[in-house]
Structure 1
Amino acid sequence: MQTYTPPPSSQPPTNGRFGLRLSVPSSTPHYLTPLTPVSYLLRAALIAPKKDALVHPEKGVRFSYEQWAARCLSLTFAIKSTPGWKKGDRVAIIAPNTPMILEAHFGILAAGGIDTPLNIRNNEREIAYVLEHSGARIILVDHEFAHLVPKQLAPHITVILSHDSGGRQGVDADPYEKFLQAGREAWERAENAEAQRWGARAKRGWELIDAPPDENDPCCLCYTSGTTGRPKGVLTSHRGSYLAATANAFEAQLNSDSVYLWVLPAFHAAGWTFPWAVTAAIGTQHVLRRVDNDQIWDAFLNHGVTHYCGAPTVNIGLVNHPKAKRLPRLVRVAVAASAPTADLLAKLERLNFAVVHTYGMTETYGPITKRYPERTWSSLSVEERAKLMSHQGHGFLVVDEVRVVKSTSPGTNSSNERDLIDVARDGKEIGEIITRGNLAMLEYYNDKEATRKTVINGWLHTGDLAVRHADGSIQIQDRAKDIIISGGENVSSLMVEDTLASHPEVLECCVVARPDEKWGEIGHAFVVLKSGRGDQTRSEELRQYLRARISKFAVPQVFEFVDALPKTSTGKVQKHVLRQQVKSGSKAKL
């Protein structure tokens, strides 16, 4: 990487100490400091000021922890200096994985605002809805996605465009860098005013910023994908974000030698809190603007990457890339959305990737469970280990026990927790996954009815159907809406997909319900093959393969071979798109 000197907004003070703590009111008891993930950045800058906090090779940008702490403080003052700004205002970010979105996850919180990252895969209409629903006061937007910002905005909304330059072309050439410079000047004015009033007792740097008065104050507003209707705004707190980051740092085994590669979108549930988790571990964040397998392998081979997160579909592309070869160091990968197949797991392990299967949702700050491996697994075949890894497992550190329950009063909103009955630990009885406690959202923003339907009996209901095994681990069977009811039999589309994916010629697959006059619903399988297009012979081959492994009524009656499956920004298959395609009357040929 060529030599890079950060702009003045991103340089620590040279004329005095750099205050690296938030101010807490004197009335706060000595045994209590409100929890906020912002404190992780200040701790890292204090302990390891010269260590790389963030590298962005594509743009030749690199910040040490003391530089990044200065840059985030400049952003904090820039936000607070915006005309009309007040505590609790929302700041929207429309950006790919860039320094801006990562520093926004700190600066917005420090300014007393609510961090509102938007999905860049959404269209203009969807973005406009979220901006209106959230009431965003400031919009930080990357130049590549400027077209998503509505042309007509209320006069009080401030839009800041970023060219993702890091100030390399000068502050005036990049509106975001100019915004940061204005924040730096506001910071320096505040310090001068403090010095004039207090002299040697004056606060400096981050001491000019107050910790949140209540750690349960909201700090993030992350929108769901809206696959079953309008996106819902998930409101989460400083305390929950701090604890979720703590849990992710611990469960991912992050430390000061870790280099975290940004493959997961940093807008997705605030990057699953990994911007804060990596900082808590004093690790380094390696930024990629887009999921490019060539760049990812370059990062693996040449930049010391140790961790990343990615859905199975992302990993399928990686293990089949021409650059793929066994790495000299172990790289830990958190896999969500669905479990890796035996074939994918074997390929990842041969390349020196250690796979961890996690489960969570936007309403839980991202992942909250993982499959904890056992020592006995080392003697098992890869197929047997893949089967065990398909369990979603147990709750993270700081998470309450994750339960699977049936209700004696379906559809009610009783306040009596005794109405929640745990399923048997037999791996057979199906119930709904529920959770509560530290990593449950506060509420759906401006949507009391949706909150009421989700938070029942003091528990957050996920809508995911699962069984519980004898060891207490949970295993998802399906989303409630994804169950196929064929001839009165409940068919788990996930179970069918897992079995179909084990066929050596299947690269990816998805099974949805197709209306049928005789059976009510039948299974419709969309299949991506590893090579070539399928035909009637291959359809029959797959049908017979399934019949030898699952109940006859569960075998899809329709097989449709496609080049690719529609996916979300995080690699999750968009079943609602395929369901709509099937319901619209499109005819499958096979």
Structure 2
Amino acid sequence: MQPMTFEPTAESIAPAGVRYRIGLSQQTLRNVNFTPLNPLSFLLRAALIYPDHIAISHPNSPQPVEYTYRVWAQRIQNLAYALIQSGIKPGDRVAVIAPNCPLIADAHNGILAARGIIVCINTRLLKADVEYIIQHSGAKLILVDHEYVSLVEDVSVPTIVSLDTGRVGDPYEAFLSNGRRFSQERGWAGLEMETDEGAGASLNYTSGTTGRPKGVLCTLRGSYLAAISNAYESRLSRTSVYLWILPMFHASGWTYPWACTFAMLKQITLRTVDIESIWSHFLHSGVSAYCAAPTVQISIVTSPQARRLPSPVSAIIAGAAPTSNLIGALESLNFQVCHVYGLTETYGPFTRNYDRPEYAKLSLEERAKLYARQGHSFAQADEVRVVKVDKEGRRRPEMVDCDDLEPGEVVTRGNIVMKEYFQDKRATDEAFRGGYFASGDIAIRYPDGSISIQDRSKDLIISGGENASSLAIEQELSAHPDVLEVSVVARKHDKWGERAMAWVILRPSSKDKWEGKGKEFEEDLIRFAKQKLPGFACPEWVYIVTELPKTSTGKIQKAVLRQRAAKL
């Protein structure tokens, strides 16, 4: 790609002799052998060591921008002072509504520098849900990208709009410039690092598929440790280039905004998931790592631009287990698959499927089944457990471990588990019952200690008294040569209570083959399934569709599919 010609605003230029040393309280200074953990420290360290290294590149915007760590750190300092000038006090929540762009990257650091709590809001939510989150979080200020102003036009909370230009005349730039003037050049020393590492860093809201979204409060300490975990597990370093495909608003980007500054690397931000632009960056921008759900990965490997990369790129996958077809396609293009698992309540990923030397001797299909496991816990997380459940499928309070290969609920505890559900003690107490956080996922544990998710408890298909895993069925059906993507849900059955229903997207090369032959394809896929699955798990119905309902982060919305199935 051509070098970018861009000049930051005058207020973004750091003064001569700048020191990246934030103020410490007397309480902190009294404890010489203890400093509260805070991911903001990663940015200051990067700006000190590599001030002229590119921190943020935003090339696909109508007005591209690029910031070195020196410039970016100054802008974040300006943001912190601007927030304080606006009345933000320690513990106050600041809402951010933006796609992947410098604004949301700034906010993950600048709000912490002002000792506030960032509330990232999904840009694809309904207006009513956005208003609920703003009200429930008690946000005192909103930073919003210009494309999403309509979501907050009826909200009586002060709002700063970003035009995403980085140039004079942009209201967000004026906000930063005012912050610089308000600072009176006190610099980082004029700000103060939060003394309590247990204080909130981010407040991330769940999808709300079973009711109102719940606010997941994550701490500075947890964010710090989770970010280091992600940097380590993804093998990020100063020479890495991280491409933002995963939305930063999703669980604070799994803490990757801070993992990237810990690694002191270059981040490339994309406002939209545009596959052509993604491939251009794979081929021309030195990208070495990215995160994306399997549905996005499928779009990557089936793109007309797809070709084998000259250097390996780490493809971090979460949201669903990758299939053998997807793993094979990624590997053939020189992507290195890294399968992780986690939830908003665990700061994003907290387990990883670790590669082993003996896997190299296995066939692709054998390796894919092993890669599909969720694996073992990250270095900063406690051991993940699978515990026995009661008659309703919920964990028992005494937390009895399941025997190997016996289904149970995934539970965990430790450094990278949320602090609480914000303003919801009942939900917090229920989630933490027995001293562990309950995931709601049903899994089995193998003798080597690795786990494999069988299903969300609500997605299990109970057919004739047998439990069938929709994920296991999807894994097998995806091996059919004409299947591009598949999702399986339960549908009522007069005899068996429930049976599996498969919703299938065909491969582009197979569409003509099955045009107008939906019934024939259904019979063909069911025959294929019977070779691999027990009878109670074989799909009873197969529907060919052109698309599947998905969340903004690429997860298939099975609740929507179940509703559609119930009407058939």
* Contact in 1 for aligned 2:387/2:395 (Cα 8 Å): no
Match of residue 203, structure 2, among 217, 221, 225? 221
Match of 1:467 among 434, 439, 444: 444
Match of 1:148 in 2: 151
Deviation at 1:188, TM superposition (A): 2.2
Distance of aligned partners of 1:55 and 1:221 in 2 relative to their CA distance in 1, 3 Å threshold? same
Q: Deviations over 1:41-72 (max 9, x none)?
A: 00000000000001111232110001010000
Residue 126 of structure 2 is matched in structure 1 by 123
**Aligned residue number for residue 202 of structure 1:** none
Partner of 1:161: 161
SS in 2 for 1:421: coil
Runs of 4+ aligned residues of structure 1 deviating over 4 Å after TM superposition are 407-414
Q: Equivalent of 1:60, from 60, 64, 69?
A: 64
2:383 equivalent among 401, 413, 434: 401
Instruction: Tell me by how many angstroms 1:160 deviates.
Output: 0.5
- Please tell me whether the aligned partners of residues 128 and 150 of structure 1 are also in contact (alpha carbons under 8 angstroms): no
1:10-49, aligned counterparts within 5 Å? 10-14=12-16, 17-28=17-28, 29-49=31-51
Question: 1-side partners of 2:270 and 2:334: how far apart?
Answer: 22
Identity of aligned residues (%): 49
Q: Aligned equivalents of 1:18 and 1:242: distance in 2?
A: 25
- 1:118-517 residue pairs with structure 2 within 5 A? 118-151=121-154, 153-154=155-156, 157-167=157-167, 170=168, 173-188=169-184, 191=186, 205-407=187-389, 419-425=398-404, 427=405, 429-517=406-494
Structure 1, residues 84-114: CA drift from partner, whole Å, max 9, x if none? 4322111111100000001100011111111
Residue range with higher mean Cα deviation, 462-471 or 120-129: 120-129
Whole-angstrom distance in 1 between the partners of 2:394 and 2:545: 42
Asked if structure 1 preserves the Cα contact closer than 8 Å seen for 2:380 and 2:415, the reply is yes
Shift of 1:180: 0.6
SS in 2 for 1:141: strand
Measure, in 1, the Cα distance between the counterparts of 2:254 and 2:109: 14
Secondary structure at the residue paired with 1:73?
A: helix
Q: Secondary structure at the match of 2:166?
A: coil
How far residue 344 of structure 1 moved from its aligned partner, in angstroms, is 1.2
**How many residue pairs get matched?**
556
CA apart distance, 1:26: 2.8
Q: Which moved more, 1:488-497 or 1:41-50?
A: 488-497
Q: Which amino acid aligns with 2:188?
A: W
Shift of 1:9: 2.8
Residue identity opposite 1:85 in structure 2: I
CA distance in 1, matches of 2:494, 2:368: 37
Give the distance between the partners of 1:142 and 1:546, measured in 2 at CA.
47
Map of 1:9 onto structure 2: 11
- Partner AA of 2:182 in structure 1: A
- Cα offsets for 1:229-252 (capped at 9, x unmatched): 111100000000000000001000
User: What amino acid maps onto 2:212 in structure 1?
Assistant: R
- Say whether the 8 Å CA contact 2:55–2:69 is kept in structure 1: yes
Q: SS of 2:56's equivalent?
A: strand
**How many angstroms apart in 1 are the aligned matches of 2:243 and 2:479?**
29
Alignment check: 8 A CA contact 2:395 2:438 kept: no
Query: Partners in 2 of 1:53 and 1:413 — Cα distance?
Result: 44
Partner of 2:104: 101
Do 1:24 and 1:33's aligned partners in 2 also have CA atoms closer than 8 Å? no
Unmatched tracts of structure 1, length 5 or more: 192-204
CA contact (8 A) 2:22 2:190 kept: yes
Q: Which amino acid aligns with 2:298?
A: I
Cα deviations by residue, 1:497-527 (Å, 9 ceiling, x for unpaired): 1111111111111111112333222211111
Separation in structure 2 between the aligned mates of residue 27 and residue 159 of structure 1, nearest angstrom:
34
Distance 2:271 2:247 in 1: 9
Determine the C-alpha separation between the residues in 2 that align with 1:27 and 1:470: 48
- CA distance in 1 between counterparts of 2:205 and 2:11 reads 31
Tell me the secondary structure at the aligned position of residue 83 of structure 2.
helix
| 1:315 to partner: Cα distance | 1.0
**Normalising by structure 1, what TM-score?**
0.92
What is the CA–CA distance in structure 1 between the aligned matches of 2:565 and 2:483, rounded to whole Å? 21
Contact map agreement 2:131 2:152 (CA 8 A) in 1: yes
Q: Compute the RMSD of aligned alpha carbons.
A: 1.5
**CA distance in structure 1 between the aligned counterparts of 2:389 and 2:144, rounded to whole angstroms:** 45
5+ long unaligned stretches in structure 2: none
> Which residue of structure 2 lines up, in the alignment, with residue 199 of structure 1?
none
Counterpart code for 2:23: S
Report if aligned partners of 1:72, 1:107 keep a CA contact under 8 Å in 2: yes
Tell me, yes or no, if the aligned pair for 1:124 and 1:150 is still in contact at 8 Å.
no
**In structure 2, what is the Cα distance between the partners aligned to 1:517 and 1:552?**
16
Contact 2:394 2:409 in 1 (8 A): no
Q: Paired residue for 1:536, among 485, 495, 519?
A: 519
Read off the aligned partner of 1:382 and give its amino acid letter.
L
Secondary structure of 1:277's counterpart equals: helix
Measure how far apart 1:571 and its partner are.
0.8
Q: Is the 8 A contact 1:408 1:420 kept in 2?
A: no
Letter in 1 for 2:26: S
Cα 1:458/1:411, change in 2 over 3 Å: farther
**Counterpart contact for 1:90–1:136, Cα < 8 Å:** yes
| In structure 2, distance between residues paired with 1:27 and 1:370 | 38
Would the aligned equivalents of 2:440 and 2:456 in 1 still touch at CA under 8 Å? yes
Alignment check: 8 A CA contact 2:389 2:395 kept = no
> 1:409 deviation in Å?
9.4
